[in-house]
Amino acid sequence: MTEILLRGRILTFRDEPLNGEASAETFTYIEDGGLLIRDGKIVAMDDYARLRAGEGASAEVTDHHPHLIMPGFIDCHIHFPQMQVVGSYAGALLEWLDRYTFVEEQKFSNQGHPERIASAFFDELIRHGTTTASVYCSVHRPSVHAFFSEAHRRNMRMVAGKVMMDRNAPPGLLDTPQSGYDDSKALIGEWHGKGRQLYAITPRFAPTSTPEQLEMSGALAREFSDMHVQTHLCENPAEIAFVAELFPWSRDYTQVYEHYELLGPKTLLGHCIHLSDAEVGTIANSGSIAVFCPTSNLFIGSGLFDLARLRASNVRNAIATDIGGGTSYSMLRTLDEGYKILNIQGQRYHPLRSFYQATLGNARALSLEGVVGSFAAGAEADCIVLDARATPAMRIRMETVETLVEELMLMQTMGDDRAIAEVYVAGRPAKSTLVK
């Protein structure tokens, strides 16, 4: 039995703090807190002195005070094969895909390349405090094996899948409706539920799948009804027009996915920027999740995510980096850009809501509440240690910070990987043990 007691300032959420500081019942903050972890699971959270005198009397103590201990960040949309296209200069989405992304992803058929990138990818997640993610692999089965093998080796909770795409891409990236189905089913059998790994059925997006492939994707979703589905939706006007050409019978883009039975409470829809009112209603009625990808939407020039409109219609939401259209692996940088996008639309986004979304909110979006995203008893012990004085600029700013909310806003605005002092994965230190 391995038992550790982490000491520090503890923050975890129980619900969404819609009213900022007035939502005190939605989160727990302990100034001198203790987090007792046994065999990779949360056992108890309380005042440090009380835990040390009681249940945690024999535990090994690691003192992180005065740093803040929170559940690990969760990223709900990220592409592991796109590490080497981040920051590529291009126009809008479709040009960016053709000039860079599709070229890069073809390399994942090369022996050794997926393994090298997978190792680097997980190092970056850890450096930036992300302990769970919903991830797109390439079309190639070896890319999925490399990804899950590395995740399993590090004992990280991941959701991922092989993209299915059988048209409108280079030959080296195309499967067929049958091979996409067969490969996905084989990968599900090998990886879904192995350790902390979960599989996601992953038709890339409607423009790269024929009706036959979307039918097979829907068949998989019906056959494995407990499984996640992930794809892209309404990111860019040219993309939407292309979908209208490819599926002329469909009322709108969203109806394509609805028709093939790909929508539901475990469906993650990346972007969701340019939605009609009918599409918003369809997404809400299905329980699907609209995933906000701020740095990607700005970098590729796709548009502004309208959170208030979606929430007013009871659409569930998540937030994500979307590497490699996104420009940072950091959820702190992502929250900062998200704040700006919403602010420019006249929507206030309180820092308590931001940090809720990056932890418990995204866990709920992944149907993983009670598993990750909080310090509930029995949850997997993925947590991060945040240092609000990590840089000289942050230290000087902290001299005038008086409240927890101000500190969170500072970290969201000025923080990056340097503000992540330590990361624990299933109760084991992961950042300090990275090879430099």
Q: What is the mean pLDDT of residues 401-420?
A: 98
- pLDDT band of 24, cuts 50, 70, 90: confident
Q: Give the pLDDT confidence score for residue 125 in this predicted structure.
A: 99
- pLDDT band of 325, cuts 50, 70, 90: very high
Token code pair at residue 240 = 């939407």
Is residue 1's pLDDT more than 80?
A: no
131-173, pLDDT tens digit by residue?
A: 999 999 999 999 999 999 999 999 999 999 999 999 999 999 9
Chain centroid, CA 426 distance in Å: 18
Reduce the DSSP state of residue 37 to 3 states and report it.
strand
Q: Do 118 and 80 meet the contact criterion of CB atoms below 8 Å apart?
A: yes
Q: Measured between alpha carbons, how far is 150 from 154 in angstroms, rounded to an integer?
A: 6
Q: Give the pLDDT confidence score for residue 383 in this predicted structure.
A: 99
Alpha-carbon distances, residue 355 vs 12, 110, 313, 379, 423 (angstroms): 9, 39, 23, 18, 16
Alpha-carbon distances, residue 75 vs 131, 196, 314 (angstroms): 8, 16, 21
109-133, pLDDT tens digit by residue?
A: 999 999 999 999 999 999 999 999 9
Q: Measured between alpha carbons, how far is 273 from 310 in angstroms, rounded to an integer?
A: 10
Fold classification of 3-71+373-433 is Urease, subunit C; domain 1 (2.30.40)
Is residue 436's pLDDT more than 90?
A: no
Strand partners, 79: 136
Q: Give the pLDDT confidence score for residue 93 in this predicted structure.
A: 87
Please give the single-letter amino acid code of residue 162. K
Is residue 388's pLDDT more than 80?
A: yes
> Which residue, among 257, 254, 302, has the nearest Cα to 281 in the 3D structure?
254
Q: What is the mean pLDDT of residues 377-390?
A: 99
User: 0.85 exceeded by the pTM?
Assistant: yes
Cβ neighbours of residue 175 closer than 8 Å, sequence gap 6 or more = 139, 164, 165, 166, 183
Mean pLDDT (the chain) is 97
- pLDDT band of 90, cuts 50, 70, 90: confident
Q: Measured between alpha carbons, how far is 31 from 17 in angstroms, rounded to an integer?
A: 19
Please give the single-letter amino acid code of residue 309. R
Superfamily of domain 73-349: Metal-dependent hydrolases (3.20.20.140)
Q: Do 266 and 227 meet the contact criterion of CB atoms below 8 Å apart?
A: yes
Is residue 91's pLDDT more than 90?
A: no
Q: What is the mean pLDDT of residues 68-76?
A: 99
Angle 121-122-123 from CA coordinates, rounded to 5°: 90
Is residue 406's pLDDT more than 80?
A: yes
Q: What is the mean pLDDT of residues 349-366?
A: 98
What's the order of all strands across the beta sheet hosting 428-429?
41-47, 27-38, 3-13, 60-71, 383-386, 420-425, 428-429
Q: Strand 27-38 and strand 41-47: pairing?
A: antiparallel
Q: Give the pLDDT confidence score for residue 20 in this predicted structure.
A: 78
Break the chain into its structural domains and give their ranges: 3-71+373-433, 73-349
Is residue 92's pLDDT more than 90?
A: no
Q: Where are the beta strands (DSSP E) in 208-357?
A: 228-233, 267-271, 289-292, 316-319
Is residue 55's pLDDT more than 80?
A: yes
